[in-house]
């Protein structure tokens, strides 16, 4: 596969929720562990304050990284930190992680990310949306093209 077979990465959006029982600084550190050290200095979230069902405070931390260079660095960092079992699980259920817009959706355990490990999780996770530049060609399967791109960077096992 040559580089023309790969789909360009446009943007990565990361969202994490810090609940009243969580230290917002720890949630920020968990998110930073998804990002390579070289980009962490520029990791400043956009924050929103919400109120939960029982009046409890919730802080939403949102991060956006635009451009192919930053996006690829983050994607490669995630691939490097994701264990073999997690990569296999992602490969087996890959089609469920691809949205109708062609974006790749991943969810990671906050506590594990805080400890420097990445584990796929669906309960109160760190949400990651990876948006690709999709240019549909006749007969092209978008999910298959995304799969090849993710295999190339080592995200799937």
* Extents of the domains making up the chain: 3-152
CA dihedral for 125, 22, 46, 79, sign (positive or negative): negative
Looking at domain 3-152, its CATH architecture is 2-Layer Sandwich (3.30)
Is the pLDDT at 77 greater than 90? The verdict is yes
Q: How far, in Å, CA of 91 to CA of 87, rounded? A: 6
With pLDDT > 70 as the criterion, what percentage of the chain qualifies?
91
Q: Torsions phi, psi of 83, nearest 5?
A: -70, 165
Give the sheet arrangement for strand 104-109, strand by strand.
46-51, 57-66, 9-19, 125-132, 104-109
Show the tokens assigned to 103: 């974006």
pLDDT confidence of residue 147: 92
Is the pLDDT at 27 greater than 70? The verdict is yes
Is the pLDDT at 6 greater than 70? The verdict is no
Q: Read off the pTM.
A: 0.90
Is the pLDDT at 2 greater than 60? The verdict is no
pLDDT confidence of residue 157: 83
Exposure on the CB side of residue 105, measured as CA atoms within 13 A? 13
């Amino acid at each position: 596969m040559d580089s023309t077979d790969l789909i360009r990465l446009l943007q990565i959006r990361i969202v994490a929720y810090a609940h009243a029982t969580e230290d917002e600084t720890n949630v920020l550190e968990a998110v930073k562990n998804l990002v390579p050290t070289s980009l962490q200095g520029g990791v400043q979230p956009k924050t929103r304050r919400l109120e939960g069902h029982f009046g409890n405070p919730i802080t939403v931390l949102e991060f956006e990284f635009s451009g192919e260079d930053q996006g690829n660095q983050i994607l490669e960092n995630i691939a490097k930190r994701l264990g073999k079992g997690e990569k296999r699980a992602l490969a087996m259920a890959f089609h469920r992680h691809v949205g109708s817009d062609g974006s790749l959706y991943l969810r990671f355990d906050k506590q594990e990310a805080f400890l420097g490990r990445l584990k796929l999780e669906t309960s109160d996770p760190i949400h990651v949306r990876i948006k690709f530049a999709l240019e549909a060609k006749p007969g092209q399967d978008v999910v298959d093209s995304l799969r090849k791109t993710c295999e190339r960077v080592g995200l799937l096992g």
